[in-house]
Chain A
Amino acid sequence: MIGLLGLIASYGFSQHFASVNSGRAFSGRAFKTPPSFTEAEQTITLKEAISGLKKRYHFKFAYQQGLLDNKFVSYSLLNNTQLQPEVIVEKMLEGCRLQYKQINKKQFTIFSPEPESKKKPSAEGASNNYYHSSDVPDLSWEEYMEDNEFNMIIKGRVISGEDGQPMPGVSILLKGTTNGTNSDTNGDFNLGIPDEGGVLVFSFIGFSSQEVSVTASQTTLSITMRPDASTLTEVIVTALGIEKDKSSVAYSVTEVKGEEFTQARENNVANALTGKVAGVNATGISTGPGGSSRVIIRGNGSLTGNSQPLYVINGMPIDNSVPGGSATPNGITSNVDRGDGIAAINPDDIESITVLKGGTAAALYGSRGANGVILITTKKGKAQKGIGVEYSSTFTIEKVSVFPDFQYEYGQGEGGVKPTTLAAAQASGRRSFGSKIDGSSDYVAADGLNHPYTAQKDNLKNFYQTGNTFTNTLALAGGNESILYRLSLADLDAKSVLPNSTYNRKTANLNVSAKLSDRLRIESVVQYSLETAKNRASAGDALGNPNWTPYEVANTVDIRWLNPGYDAKDNEIIWNDAAIANNSYFVVNKFKENDDKNRFIGQASIAYDILKNLTVKGIVTRDFYSYNYTNILPTGTAYTPLGEYAGIKSDLSETNGMVTATYKTEIADKFGISILAGTNGRKMEEKRNNFSGKNYIQPYFYSFSNLATSSVTPYTGRTTTNSIFGSVDLDYKSILYLTATGRQDWFSTLSSSNNSIFYPSVGASFVLSDAITLPRIFDMARIRASWAQVGGGGPDPYAINLTYSSVPSASTVPLQNVTQLADGTKAITNVNLKPFTSTTTELGLNIQLINNRLGLDVALYNRRSTNDIVSVPISTTSGYNNAILNSGELSNKGIEVLMTATPVKASNFSWNVSYNFAYNQSEVIKLADGISTFSLGNSANGNAYINNNVGRTYGAIYGYRMLKDASGNTVFDTNAGLPAQTNINQELGKGVPPVTMGFSSDFQYKNISLNFLVDGKFGNKVFSVMEVYATRLGLLKSTLPGREDGLVLNGVTPTGDNYTRTIPVAQLRSAYYNNLNRYTELFIHDGSFIKLRQVILSYGLPVSKIKFLKIQSASIALVGRNLLTLYKKTDNFDPEQSLTNGPAQGIESIGLPRTRSYGVNLMLKF
């Protein structure tokens, strides 16, 4: 077995044409002519030459100890700058009768193609054009067989699991013997083994060893070698797609491989980041398939604005906005999560995701890197014979997973009386303040029928259906040395747990890259996606929210009695006292809400090597979508009987052009230097029309042309940001690395005197383990430090000058008004706006121990946003709803820990675990002069607010408590006969969890693997609107006191006298429980949880047995997401029940219930 030896790393900064390199398979060619060099020619040792290449090209080489000894190469070859570096490597090794396999762009494994065995390796060995060293006896095949008395020949082929190509040079050893061979150029091998069979060990540096039992009956083997990432120094993608050796980066970067997203998948790939990366707080929103996600890295970076990271695909930014804006916790009609930009990305197209956690990592992105960057690298083609076909199919079903713990002692009714007439049933349709549930038969429900008065506990199960998602992706890939391609076609079809709610996403992605000459390379990626959704669940306040009925219907009503929700005239069937609390069956059956988004993402790049070490690259990308949304509230809706119409038509584009030049050189053999300079131009344009109208003139005909009142409001938003940037990377003997970047941005959104800012960053990484001799236990120890300043201009145009707009009117009198924002608010513009800045300092430590079996990565950061551009809600008495200010200051400090371990690493069993932990402490330092608090949002009816308060944490929950006197007695408002409220500014908890963690475990036994992920969030609170209603409506167990004899309230009057009041049963709801919404604190719960987030059990099918199908590999997996909640403190709802991806987190607003999903995933490669 080849041990891991002499794995030496060097660092580089390269603009090599990625796809050509990664697509490059083997250079394991037959050596026709032994290279010869004359005595006179200057030679150096191979070791020196390799060392020189490492420095110059920042390659890494792995080889067996001693392999390079006593071998010499031509000095001139080493210095031949006309040749591609790979060619130099190839030619050098050729001369030494060695070969290499390129593991990745920077990593090479050098091996000897010659058999290790002293024995004749194969029957065809003689005809093979291998060079044999002189100590191998030149035996004939017959002689060989005779010598060894082997009766049986095992034939086989070794294939790389990475690219599906044959793998030469793999060592094959019969376990317990010295009998072995190497695979040949075609990956083929023959090995004689004894009759009784045995165990063959396949090994190759950089790949996991495999042991395979062979028996007499088996004569043909197909072995797939899998790369073993832990034995290699990783190359990671950093800002602008620059690849760096992981040990050189001065900040925390985490890479997640594409496979992590493709088996147990989330429709929105961003949700799948949950628990996987320390410091990344990803939240899926409770809005059903096609919904948005909220991803926050290292805390919220802006006081009111966007705190989500920038998404970058193959180096270029995409738009991640939600058309028409995010849903809000208190929104009313059409309060729908319409899905964000990242939702359009198909996980099957993702090669890897790299998370740049904020300023220091993302400084080169300037204004847009302030909240971190999520880099998505998509899959590319690979040079291979024929066409590679990959097919992936996943089917999952989805079920509601959390059920409230309601009371089932007293049923529908009011004042202790159950309804016995239709009118009484309609009045109390949402009230469970009736008599004791006794099965009596005179009960009448809102359907007007007699039913036994019994508890109905399954309303959620009966209303929501089993959802499912079926995803199919077909990819064709291939190419040769000069052109590579990959085309994928995917279809995702999802049926929500909400009846009649569906989401479909089709994507086509084509990636073509070509090497037009030795110096000229081009690449193009084109993605087209079409997302269509029907009846996305709205949330927030009552109007049209389909979740209100199942969560509020009285507990003796079987919700199906309300089905189908409309009468013979298509009018909504009344089931409760408030018309705005729609019959959910009417909503799902009659509301017509549709949206579709046609999206095109295209990018094209051209790179030219002016000199060997000077490359210029130009790239242009455009992300464009056309979005249509209509929401029809039909004729017959109880609260708006003539109907309403809302629509959005939006065309949005983001166009980026970038030119970069990179130059690298070496100074005095000790210093490597890389320089990058570039310019970037970015244009955003949104053209939107908002349609609204009321009252269909001709009933039941739902066209915008058929509205008695209608208006169209246009909006055109344009912003441009121009930039220049540059970076310098230095490395001293691959021990100390220094990086400095700078970027200057110009913003169109600011006034010309203040529209530009320069952002610097510096970083250092010191590889301690290479600088000094550490105990053997240390494989690697590294410390890093960085400092960066990034920032940005205002995200929205037109924020500097007050303007006036026309107001739609049918009268001949023209109307004008101060221009309002899209949401109807008036904001005070600010001509003095200047760019905001976000300064991050980061320290990190990275240790690998015990043959890389243990790893630790710790990061400490301090991030401070200053001059934050915030649209601050201000007192409306100012004449405006908001002021756009430039003075916010916000601090986020935290620690992130990543621990990895390989507790077991046996030949056919391995176990890897990984644990990440992050703690973030946020503090609002300043808002604006004289302003100490402002609100990010509030619940329906204003019972709870999410505020930023100076000196306090970001986004805390505020509201009322019951007023207590000094001795803790409840003080009563004697007019209302209810406990008095405190003022509303009571801090009741953090809206955002400060602690997040994840634990994942991978077991691998032969071709079976089991992966699970457990994650948790801690330290936040959630305000539950559902509980507010379940209290007012008598569904919660906490409303049981007083049902028999009335409720006695005790306390004191404001003047301190004793106060007692008895609420009679008849008024229990109206006089008491209905009014408890006044006390926010009653509905605040600890939002901490631990969940079994993901389980994948997969089995690699032994496809070699069914060779006729020409399947290269196949795997089948059982997958589950959100399977179990292992710990939570909320009895009645899921603590992750958030429904907005905006900044107001910490409010549960009767959104779609959370679900668990499980299913099966099949992946085939041909």
Chain B
Amino acid sequence: MKHFIKNYSCILLLPGLLFIQACDKNFEEINTNPDAVSKVTPQYIFSKAQYDGVINSANSSKLLLGTMQYTTSYNDVDGFGSKYVAAQRSLSSVVFSSGYPNQINEIGEVIKAVKNDPTQVNRYAVARIWKAFCFSRLTDLYGDIPYTEAGQGYNKSIFQPAYDAQKDIYADLLKELDEAANSLDANNTTTFGTSDQIYSGDTGQWKKFAYSLMLRLGMRMTKVDATNAQVWVTKAIAGGVIVNYADIAKMTYIGSGQDINKNPMALDLLNSSYIKADGVSNTEGGKYQQVFIDSLKKNNDPRLSVLSVVYVNGIADATPAIQKGMPATINGQKPADFVTYSEPKQTTVLRLASPVLLFTVAETNFLLAEAALRNWYSGETAAALYEKGIRAAMQQWDLISGTTGTITSNQVNAYVSAHPLNTGATFEKQMEQIYNQFWTGIFPDAQEVFANYRRTGYPALVPNNYPGNATGGKIFRRFLYPVNEQTLNTTAYTVAVGRQGADDFLTRIWWDK
């Protein structure tokens, strides 16, 4: 009773003004979440935006790792990327669904917090670069996407954002990169500091990353708008791109603790198939695909034994001769010789403490090689850049494995001398050589490979005409929007589909026309 009187003294008072005033007493305190804060700390949320922006579920065994024919599975779910099974088509919408409420929302919160503060000019610039990176990943997969109005649900109460044409998105992304790179101020020490898990706040490196992204996005437009492509590529090169090993844009992980602290692609692969590490108990039936392993073997590629193993009596064996990829045509049934197929190596591709490489020296050199071929860049020859690209691609396994000299310089030299760019061949032949190397060298960033495959047609992958596939046996040109966009954002969706073409795997996005 005492307790009652103490806690309900308010209501024991009879109705009256006193009561009314008393009866919402402490309500504000009661309605304050003890486990949350009301003010944002921009650097903390920026760190989260980095983690989320790097998690790229398109680079999963279910999706582009399969499509770009690195991996496959005998089952339809994990094998979707390599088989395009119609029944599993909704898998392709996941990047879109998760992208906006995570990295897009978070980087928006960061920008909102730092934008109008002149002392935080570097944080603002870095956030803009990161935002451009995140959006570019989305638009490259889906084409037209909400951009200008996206992520404004709280700030502007926009619940049904319009889809921007990819052309306009690209124009703005490039403008943003340009402005952000220009606004970076090396003399201003207010950066994200250690909260920046890519460059620890180094403005010089962010500038290189911005220009490298400009190079990447500029090259995307070669097919649809070569003139502007050249403008932006030229501008990017002039600004300074990532050409040194130390400048590689990479997200670091400690490899233990929470899932967020682990290399997301390695984690995804482990959870899908490889956690038991015995070659047999592959949960989702994943293995390397025949196309990839055959190519590495054919070229005596030293990377084969770095990235691939076969389990022999339960022991991982990286001997190149016994490596064998699984065909993507297997229909549902676990093959009797399943154990004999190659799979990702636990100490490299599946290493939870390895960094995710976001922009590498290899990519710069391959793109520059193409620019040289197109006579947009004359600083070095295409052949030299091509060779530098291969060397850089081999060297970057040091980062992934955490061990220097993973591929010895002898191995690199031997490979390089056996694979020179055939400068006498046609433009197309040379392009094919560059982008075959890109395919091998940029692995496991299948999304970047997928973009350049669509733009250049290389590597000349042979599609898998699997029973019940959704594409008539053709490789995707884009991913499908989430079906609930049809319901929750009907008007904007309808306009986008009307402009871009049917919401189909084979509809080509703007830069792929």
Please give the residue numbers on chain A whose beta carbons come within 8 Å of chain B beta carbons, in ascending order: 414, 421, 423-424, 426-428, 431, 571, 577-579, 604, 618, 620, 638-642, 655, 657-659, 677, 679-681, 683, 694-695, 708-709, 711, 714-716, 718-720, 722-724, 726, 744, 746-749, 752, 755-756, 797-798, 800-819, 825-826, 828-829, 872-881, 883, 928, 930-935, 941-942, 945, 947, 958, 974-978, 983-985, 1032, 1066-1067, 1070-1072, 1074-1075, 1077-1078
- Please indicate the chain B residues that have their CB under 8 angstroms from the CB of A873 in the complex: 484, 488
Q: Pick from A638, A677, A797, A977 the residue with the most CB of B within 10 Å.
A: A977
Checking B4, B7, B194, B258 against A809 with a beta-carbon cut-off of 8 angstroms, the contacting residue is B258
| B86 A976 Cβ-Cβ under 8 A | yes
Q: A826-B101, A879-B105, A1071-B467 are in contact. Are A427 and B333 (CB under 8 A)?
A: yes
| B334 A427 Cβ-Cβ under 8 A | yes
| B36 A977 Cβ-Cβ under 8 A | no
Residue-wise, chain B 469-508 has the 8 Å CB interface mask toward A (1 for contact) of: 1111010000000111111111010000000000011100
- For window 356-380 of chain B, which residues contact chain A by CB distance below 8 Å? none
Checking B15, B30, B100 against A748 with a beta-carbon cut-off of 8 angstroms, the contacting residue is B30
Checking A683, A716, A809, A932 against B261 with a beta-carbon cut-off of 8 angstroms, the contacting residue is A809
Residue-wise, chain B 280-321 has the 8 Å CB interface mask toward A (1 for contact) of: 010111000000000000000000000000000000000000
Checking B41, B261, B331 against A816 with a beta-carbon cut-off of 8 angstroms, the contacting residue is B41
What are 30 of the A-B contact pairs (CB < 8 Å)?
A423-B336, A577-B76, A640-B283, A677-B15, A679-B19, A708-B256, A709-B257, A746-B24, A805-B36, A809-B261, A811-B257, A811-B261, A819-B33, A873-B488, A875-B146, A875-B484, A876-B96, A876-B100, A877-B146, A877-B149, A879-B152, A883-B157, A932-B490, A945-B484, A945-B487, A978-B86, A984-B486, A985-B486, A1071-B468, A1075-B86
Residue-wise, chain B 156-169 has the 8 Å CB interface mask toward A (1 for contact) of: 01111100000000
Residue-wise, chain B 92-127 has the 8 Å CB interface mask toward A (1 for contact) of: 000011101100111011000000000000000000
| A579 B284 Cβ-Cβ under 8 A | yes
| B485 A749 Cβ-Cβ under 8 A | no
Checking A577, A802, A808, A819 against B75 with a beta-carbon cut-off of 8 angstroms, the contacting residue is A577
| B24 A976 Cβ-Cβ under 8 A | no
- Please indicate the chain B residues that have their CB under 8 angstroms from the CB of A722 in the complex: 10-11, 23-24
Residue-wise, chain B 433-472 has the 8 Å CB interface mask toward A (1 for contact) of: 0000000000000000000000000000000001111111
Residue-wise, chain B 71-89 has the 8 Å CB interface mask toward A (1 for contact) of: 0001111000000011100
Residue-wise, chain B 243-259 has the 8 Å CB interface mask toward A (1 for contact) of: 00000000000101111
Determine whether B416 belongs to the interface, using a CB cutoff of 8 Å to chain A: no
Determine whether B238 belongs to the interface, using a CB cutoff of 8 Å to chain A: no
Query: Which B-chain residue is minimally distant from A814 (CB atoms)?
Result: B44
Q: Pick from B24, B75, B487, B506 the residue with the most CB of A within 10 Å.
A: B487
Query: Which B-chain residue is minimally distant from A658 (CB atoms)?
Result: B11
| B487 A931 Cβ-Cβ under 8 A | no
| B487 A714 Cβ-Cβ under 8 A | no
- Please indicate the chain A residues that have their CB under 8 angstroms from the CB of B331 in the complex: 414, 1070
| A930 B97 Cβ-Cβ under 8 A | no
- For window 149-186 of chain B, which residues contact chain A by CB distance below 8 Å? 149-154, 157-161
| Majority secondary structure, A binding face | mixed
Having A414-B332, A874-B160, one finds 17 other A-B pairs with CB under 8 Å, namely A427-B334, A579-B283, A641-B283, A642-B275, A694-B259, A709-B258, A716-B33, A719-B30, A810-B261, A813-B194, A816-B40, A826-B101, A935-B484, A976-B468, A984-B484, A985-B487, A1070-B466
Checking B159, B197, B271, B470 against A931 with a beta-carbon cut-off of 8 angstroms, the contacting residue is B159
B223 nearest CB across to chain A (Å): 22
| A935 B487 Cβ-Cβ under 8 A | yes
Distance between Cα atoms of A424 and B38 in the complex (Å): 58
- Please indicate the chain B residues that have their CB under 8 angstroms from the CB of A983 in the complex: 486
B136 nearest CB across to chain A (Å): 16
Determine whether B404 belongs to the interface, using a CB cutoff of 8 Å to chain A: no
| A756 B106 Cβ-Cβ under 8 A | no
- Please indicate the chain A residues that have their CB under 8 angstroms from the CB of B276 in the complex: 641-642
Q: Which 10 A-B pairs have the closest CB atoms?
A: A810-B257, A878-B153, A427-B333, A816-B44, A879-B105, A879-B151, A803-B36, A975-B472, A657-B8, A875-B489
Query: Which B-chain residue is minimally distant from A694 (CB atoms)?
Result: B259
Distance between Cα atoms of A995 and B55 in the complex (Å): 49
Checking B154, B159, B254 against A802 with a beta-carbon cut-off of 8 angstroms, the contacting residue is B154
Distance between Cα atoms of A817 and B40 in the complex (Å): 8
Checking B109, B150, B283, B506 against A878 with a beta-carbon cut-off of 8 angstroms, the contacting residue is B150
Checking B106, B257, B471, B488 against A934 with a beta-carbon cut-off of 8 angstroms, the contacting residue is B488
Q: A815-B51, A818-B105, A1075-B468 are in contact. Are A803 and B33 (CB under 8 A)?
A: yes
Q: Pick from A618, A748, A941 the residue with the most CB of B within 10 Å.
A: A748
Determine whether B403 belongs to the interface, using a CB cutoff of 8 Å to chain A: no
Checking B100, B105, B149, B195 against A814 with a beta-carbon cut-off of 8 angstroms, the contacting residue is B195
B279 nearest CB across to chain A (Å): 13
| B254 A976 Cβ-Cβ under 8 A | no
Determine whether B34 belongs to the interface, using a CB cutoff of 8 Å to chain A: yes
Name the interface size band of chain B. Answer: 35 or more
Checking B39, B96, B472 against A804 with a beta-carbon cut-off of 8 angstroms, the contacting residue is B39
Distance between Cα atoms of A739 and B482 in the complex (Å): 53
| Majority secondary structure, B binding face | loop
Query: Which A-chain residue is minimally distant from B162 (CB atoms)?
Result: A877
Distance between Cα atoms of A880 and B154 in the complex (Å): 8
| A883 B153 Cβ-Cβ under 8 A | yes
Checking B45, B259, B490 against A933 with a beta-carbon cut-off of 8 angstroms, the contacting residue is B490
Checking B33, B260, B471 against A815 with a beta-carbon cut-off of 8 angstroms, the contacting residue is B260
Determine whether B391 belongs to the interface, using a CB cutoff of 8 Å to chain A: no
| B19 A819 Cβ-Cβ under 8 A | no
Distance between Cα atoms of A380 and B114 in the complex (Å): 66
Determine whether B12 belongs to the interface, using a CB cutoff of 8 Å to chain A: yes
Query: Which B-chain residue is minimally distant from A875 (CB atoms)?
Result: B489
Distance between Cα atoms of A259 and B40 in the complex (Å): 58
B227 nearest CB across to chain A (Å): 31
| B8 A620 Cβ-Cβ under 8 A | yes
| A928 B159 Cβ-Cβ under 8 A | yes
| A709 B36 Cβ-Cβ under 8 A | no
Q: A641-B281, A802-B154 are in contact. Are A423 and B30 (CB under 8 A)?
A: no
Checking A659, A876, A985 against B97 with a beta-carbon cut-off of 8 angstroms, the contacting residue is A876
| A947 B487 Cβ-Cβ under 8 A | yes
Query: Which B-chain residue is minimally distant from A885 (CB atoms)?
Result: B159
Q: A876-B482, A985-B486, A1067-B468 are in contact. Are A803 and B38 (CB under 8 A)?
A: yes
| B275 A1075 Cβ-Cβ under 8 A | no
Distance between Cα atoms of A976 and B87 in the complex (Å): 11
| B47 A942 Cβ-Cβ under 8 A | no
| A1070 B468 Cβ-Cβ under 8 A | yes
Determine whether B418 belongs to the interface, using a CB cutoff of 8 Å to chain A: no
- For window 9-35 of chain B, which residues contact chain A by CB distance below 8 Å? 10-15, 19-20, 23-24, 26-28, 30-35
Determine whether B145 belongs to the interface, using a CB cutoff of 8 Å to chain A: yes
| B261 A798 Cβ-Cβ under 8 A | no
Checking B14, B24, B48, B96 against A755 with a beta-carbon cut-off of 8 angstroms, the contacting residue is B24
Query: Which A-chain residue is minimally distant from B34 (CB atoms)?
Result: A716
Determine whether B90 belongs to the interface, using a CB cutoff of 8 Å to chain A: yes
Q: Pick from B258, B284, B472 the residue with the most CB of A within 10 Å.
A: B258
| A424 B469 Cβ-Cβ under 8 A | no
| B333 A681 Cβ-Cβ under 8 A | no
A899 nearest CB across to chain B (Å): 43
| A798 B33 Cβ-Cβ under 8 A | yes
Q: Pick from A658, A804, A812, A941 the residue with the most CB of B within 10 Å.
A: A804
Checking A711, A804, A810, A935 against B38 with a beta-carbon cut-off of 8 angstroms, the contacting residue is A804
Distance between Cα atoms of A932 and B486 in the complex (Å): 12
- Please indicate the chain A residues that have their CB under 8 angstroms from the CB of B425 in the complex: none
Query: Which A-chain residue is minimally distant from B22 (CB atoms)?
Result: A722
Distance between Cα atoms of A1123 and B474 in the complex (Å): 55
- Please indicate the chain A residues that have their CB under 8 angstroms from the CB of B41 in the complex: 804, 814, 816
Query: Which A-chain residue is minimally distant from B257 (CB atoms)?
Result: A810
| B27 A977 Cβ-Cβ under 8 A | no
- Please indicate the chain B residues that have their CB under 8 angstroms from the CB of A414 in the complex: 331-333
